[in-house]
């Protein structure tokens, strides 16, 4: 088995882990470029002095707040976002102990642009991850939500507990190195010991700095938060979730079916799938997406990949080895493109088929025999990491209390199986290994949902989605008794928001008028 830096590849088959919103939210390439919705003024965007951005503040161990919980949402104009309102609310760390310690939940709102009498209420949104920022997504929706939607709804995002500007998981303090950043050698006793020791040490730091928060960042905890937030508005829950955000929505519908208003779940997760199967199925869909990328690549005369996907995979493996030994120059921040960064860039590219023709050119530049330039791919893979020091750990913190896993040895066996099945995209699949050494454990098994009694729900599935297999959307639509499945017959991860006029039309008709598509409805690929 090839060795690799564990942290670089940890993200590659992480569930919907679009480590930059351009990868999570379809169609959003430049958040201020305009789209099928109204444009957003760049002056409304985050800047380097935004007090709501956790990456701007020095990290410190988690301090929980005393009760009581908030009884209202006190909206105020955001400091650096003129069109938006901001708020923080206190909610119980443990909803079974409402008077105990509290966590802070950060919210951001884009008020409805139309007349008050035409307002439909609040539309809550989540971009996925787990670990992505809902308040950042709100800042961008003017670029890809439809005009009618923005006229009729207040759009509200929140950073889930454990994440971002909310009370978030802290593992490292400023200036500290990640002890799990080791070669991923799973073939030798020394290598295995080094991997286990590194991840165990990281977990100990996370427990030391985050304390009891680590035990209370599950999807069930976030769903209880979402219900508390909904209750503060006095409305039914209208919700749009992408990727991991669909799991939040599905569990909410199952837990509070009578509170569901209109709910769109785009890039769906199957709540019943366990972690080992989840990793295997997702690795397979990345492999299939790569084969489809190769087909597109071969339409360009400059394509450096072989027409046979397996042969192309061998080429990529050779480039990984070469670049890890001798990285090519890059104008990006770190100044070079390594083999592991090449894999991260290719994985990221699979989320956005509208950019595949550009990525082909970037790949040709990076592996050219003369004057190779890795700048563009280096920048692309850099989108997989957020600015906050502890951002990479928010995914693990949530997944590891959501999904029961076995022992370290069992996780290693599964990682080896993934690497054998997909040497490019499976070789860095260490999420299960990390959870086996994580200090907080899942309390519940993964089970199907039903949402009995919920209002109609719209599930959107992409036929060749690399991150959330289409089969998951089919399964979720069958589990939720009131769900209708809308199929997008294309590539990429999630759809609503400027990718397909067909999907956008059905989603907006549903959110505005409550009209679900006819059963079995599909939309053609836009690329």
| Per-residue pLDDT tens over the stretch 300-347 | 999 999 999 999 999 999 999 999 999 999 998 889 999 989 999 999
Residue 386: pLDDT band by 50, 70, 90 thresholds? low
Neighbours of 349 (CB within 10 A): 24
What does each C-alpha distance from 431 to 20, 320, 400, 402, 442 come to in angstroms?
19, 21, 9, 12, 14
Residue 10: pLDDT band by 50, 70, 90 thresholds? very low
**Tokens 């990479």 belong to which residue?**
392
Q: Are 232 and 70 in contact (CB under 8 A)?
A: yes
DSSP, res 516: P
Which pair of structure tokens corresponds to residue 293? 């990328």
pLDDT digits (tens, 9 = 90+) for 195-214: 999 999 999 999 999 999 99
pLDDT digits (tens, 9 = 90+) for 349-363: 999 999 999 999 999
If we measure between CA atoms, which residue out of 214, 95, 124, 98 comes closest to residue 162?
214
- Residue 241 burial by CB count (10 A; 0-12/13-18/19+): exposed, middle or buried? buried
**pLDDT computed for residue 57 by the predictor:** 76
**pLDDT computed for residue 360 by the predictor:** 97
What mean pLDDT is predicted for residues 264-275? 98
Q: Are 242 and 351 in contact (CB under 8 A)?
A: no
- Cα distance between residue 244 and residue 268, in whole Å: 7
Neighbours of 444 (CB within 10 A): 12
Residue 43: pLDDT band by 50, 70, 90 thresholds? very low
**pLDDT computed for residue 184 by the predictor:** 87
**pLDDT computed for residue 384 by the predictor:** 57
> Which superfamily does 76-169+217-272+447-523 belong to?
Alpha/Beta hydrolase fold, catalytic domain (3.40.50.1820)
Which pair of structure tokens corresponds to residue 371? 């004057």
- The question of whether 414 is a catalytic residue gets the answer no
Q: Are 408 and 436 in contact (CB under 8 A)?
A: yes
**pLDDT computed for residue 95 by the predictor:** 98
CA atoms within 13 A on the CB side of 125: 27
pLDDT digits (tens, 9 = 90+) for 47-75: 334 555 544 578 999 999 999 999 999 99
- The question of whether 30 is a catalytic residue gets the answer no
- Cα distance between residue 20 and residue 32, in whole Å: 15
What mean pLDDT is predicted for residues 149-175? 97
Q: pLDDT exceeding 70 applies to what percent of the chain?
A: 88
- Cα distance between residue 113 and residue 154, in whole Å: 8
**pLDDT computed for residue 55 by the predictor:** 45
**Tokens 């960042």 belong to which residue?**
217
Q: Which of 4, 493, 500, 504 is catalytic?
A: 493
What mean pLDDT is predicted for residues 203-229? 98
Three-point CA angle 282, 287, 293, nearest 5° = 125
- The question of whether 56 is a catalytic residue gets the answer no
**pLDDT computed for residue 169 by the predictor:** 98
Q: Which of 44, 465, 491, 504 is catalytic?
A: 465
- Cα distance between residue 328 and residue 380, in whole Å: 15
**pLDDT computed for residue 50 by the predictor:** 54
Residue ranges covered by each domain of the chain: 76-169+217-272+447-523, 275-385
What is the chain's length? 527
């Amino acid at each position: 088995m090839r060795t690799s830096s564990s942290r670089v590849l940890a993200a590659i088959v992480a569930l919907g882990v679009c480590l930059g919103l351009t990868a999570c939210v379809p169609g959003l390439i430049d958040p201020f470029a305009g789209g099928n919705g109204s444009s957003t003024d760049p002056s409304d965007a985050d800047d380097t002095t935004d007090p709501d951005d956790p990456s701007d503040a020095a990290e410190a161990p988690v301090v929980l707040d005393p009760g009581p919980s908030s009884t209202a949402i006190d909206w105020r104009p955001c400091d650096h976002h003129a069109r938006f309102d901001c708020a923080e609310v206190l909610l119980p760390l443990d909803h079974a102990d409402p008077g105990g310690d509290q966590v802070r939940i950060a919210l951001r709102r884009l008020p409805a642009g139309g007349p008050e009498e035409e307002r439909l209420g609040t539309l809550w949104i989540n971009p996925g991850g787990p670990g992505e920022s809902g308040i950042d997504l709100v800042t961008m929706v003017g670029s890809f939500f439809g005009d009618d939607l923005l006229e009729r709804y207040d759009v509200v995002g929140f950073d889930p507990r454990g994440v971002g500007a909310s009370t978030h998981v802290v593992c490292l303090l400023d200036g500290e190195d990640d002890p799990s950043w080791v070669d991923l050698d799973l073939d030798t006793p020394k290598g295995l010991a080094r991997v286990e020791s590194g991840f165990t040490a990281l977990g100990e730091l996370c427990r030391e700095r985050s304390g009891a928060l680590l035990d209370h960042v599950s999807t069930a905890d976030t769903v209880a938060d979402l219900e508390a937030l909904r209750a503060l508005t006095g409305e039914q829950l209208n919700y749009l979730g992408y990727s991991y955000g669909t799991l939040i929505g599905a569990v909410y519908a199952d837990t509070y079916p009578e509170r569901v208003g209109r709910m769109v779940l785009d890039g769906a997760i199957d709540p019943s799938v366990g972690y080992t199967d989840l990793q295997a199925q997702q690795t397979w869909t990345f492999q299939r997406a790569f084969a489809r990328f190769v087909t597109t690549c071969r339409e360009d005369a400059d394509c450096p990949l072989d027409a046979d996907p397996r042969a192309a995979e061998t080429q990529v493996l050779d480039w990984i080895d070469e670049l890890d030994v001798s990285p090519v120059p890059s104008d990006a921040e770190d100044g070079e493109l390594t083999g592991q960064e090449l894999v991260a860039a290719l994985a990221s590219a699979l989320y956005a088929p509208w950019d595949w023709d550009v990525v082909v050119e970037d790949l040709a530049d990076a592996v050219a025999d003369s004057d190779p330039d890795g700048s563009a791919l280096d920048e692309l893979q850099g989108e997989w990491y957020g600015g906050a020091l502890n951002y990479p750990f928010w995914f693990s913190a949530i997944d590891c209390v959501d999904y029961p896993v076995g022992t370290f040895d069992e996780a290693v066996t599964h990682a080896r199986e993934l690497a054998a099945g997909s040497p490019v995209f499976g070789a860095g699949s260490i999420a299960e290994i990390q959870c086996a050494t994580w200090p907080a454990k899942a309390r519940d098994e993964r089970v199907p949902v039903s949402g009995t009694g919920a209002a109609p729900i719209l599930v959107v599935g992409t036929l060749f989605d690399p991150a959330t297999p289409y089969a998951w959307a089919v399964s979720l639509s069958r589990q939720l008794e009131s769900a209708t499945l809308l199929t997008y017959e294309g590539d990429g991860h999630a759809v609503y928001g400027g990718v397909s006029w067909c999907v956008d039309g059905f989603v907006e008709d549903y959110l505005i008028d409550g009209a679900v598509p006819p059963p079995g409805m599909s939309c053609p690929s836009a690329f």
